[in-house]
Amino acid sequence: MPSHRVVGRYELHQPIASGGMATVHLGRLRGQAGFSRIVAIKRLHTSFGETPALVATLLDEARLCSRIQHPNVVPTLDMVAEDDELLLVLDYVHGETLARLLGGADEPLPLAVVNAVMSGALHGLHAAHEATGETGEALGIVHRDVSPQNIMVGRDGLARVLDFGVAKARGRMQTTREGQVKGKLAYMSPEQ
């Protein structure tokens, strides 16, 4: 029995991260003539897969992220629908979240590392703010969940922003109700 599940051109392997709405699996893209590439595959938790609003949120995330082209944002590569399940395929970043780096450190990270990570994250967020739609209109993307859990630091030293699932943007299919709070309380801006 294989240790992975095959969905279209993708193999889903073990989970590598889990959040409130979804689990991210290590995956592999299988292409022609033996081509292969490691990817990350985000899938909604089973209990959320039949909730139209959450499915729309995942579709929105894929659509928005596909418009952000920047080295400091984890690229969205594909969206796969199979057996009433949506899978969001992302570039796999060899590295750790900033939360894991901070949690595993016996002493504070060197100032040069902190500056590089924060600078990279800010460049990624700026790219999201500046992203445009196919006809050039500003999308006005605001991440709304910037936290150490949503910043990957690759072995290459680059910081990358990920998880735009609760992002706010013009033309988004799902909108936030008045008074509804999005993101992690400890990292929210005061005006929220």
Q: Which residues are catalytic?
A: 145
Which residue pairs from 102-107 have beta carbons closer than 8 angstroms and sit at least 24 positions apart in sequence? 102/148
- Of all residues in the chain, what percent are helix, strand and coil, respectively (each to 5)? 25, 30, 40
Look at the alpha carbons of 185, 71, 101, 19 in this order and tell me if their dihedral is positive or negative: positive
Residue 90 — φ and ψ, nearest 5°?
Answer: -120, 160
Residue type, 138: A
Q: Which residue has the tokens 């706010």?
A: 168
Q: Which two tokens stand for residue 71?
A: 């080295």
- Give the strand pairing for 85-91 and 95-97: unpaired
Pairing of strands 151-154, 95-97: antiparallel
Other C-beta atoms within 10 Å of 116: how many?
A: 16
